[in-house]
Amino acid sequence: MIAIGCDHGGVELKDEIVKHLEKKGIECKDVGCYTSESCDYPVYAKKVTDLITSKECKEGILVCGTGIGMSIAANKVKGIRAAVCGDCFSAQATKEHNNANVLCLGARVVGTGLALKIVDTFLETEFSNGERHVRRIDMLEQ
């Protein structure tokens, strides 16, 4: 189960991602928002990170206009490693090296086609478990 949320800047892309993942048989817990009415991204970042820290979901996706506000909000939460990605290389690397558990996307930055590829890359890539990466991630938690 993937936790997914957005603000008004990301609602259309979030809906596309949910459709895309459900077509692939991947269930989403969609915490909103659900309309293009202006709202506050930290509210939705918190809903998604709560689902991850409570272990109801292993990973999450957050979409706003740039992906930046969502990543700043999500990274304030202990145990959350959120990465804004605008390309597949970064999506793969942040999972392999940082064991990122939240992917942030900027709906005003990437087109839908690229965003869906980034989502697939992120979800299909596993953490490398490399000793140096484990050590560095442990340092982030101290």
Closest separation in Å from C-beta 11 to ligand RB5: 10
Question: Which spans in 1-130 are helix H?
Answer: 11-23, 41-53, 68-74, 88-98, 112-124
Output the smallest distance, CB 77 to ligand RB5, in A: 16
End-to-end CA distance of the chain: 28
Amino acid identity of residue 13, one-letter, is: L
The alpha carbons of the chain give a radius of gyration, in whole angstroms, of: 14
In the complex, the smallest distance separating the C-beta of residue 68 from ligand RB5, rounded to whole angstroms, is 5
Residue nearest to ligand RB5 (CB): 69
Looking at 20, 88, 97, 133, which residue is catalytic? 97
Judged by CB, which is closer to ligand RB5: 36, or 58? Answer: 36
**Catalytic member of 57, 64, 85, 104:** 64
* Residues lying near ligand RB5 in the complex (CB under 6 A): 7, 9, 41, 64-66, 68-69
Active site residue 8: no
Shortest distance in whole angstroms from residue 84 CB to ligand RB5: 9
To the query of whether residue 133 is one of the catalytic residues in this protein, the response is no
Contact 19, 46 (CB under 8 A): no
Catalytic residue positions? 64, 97
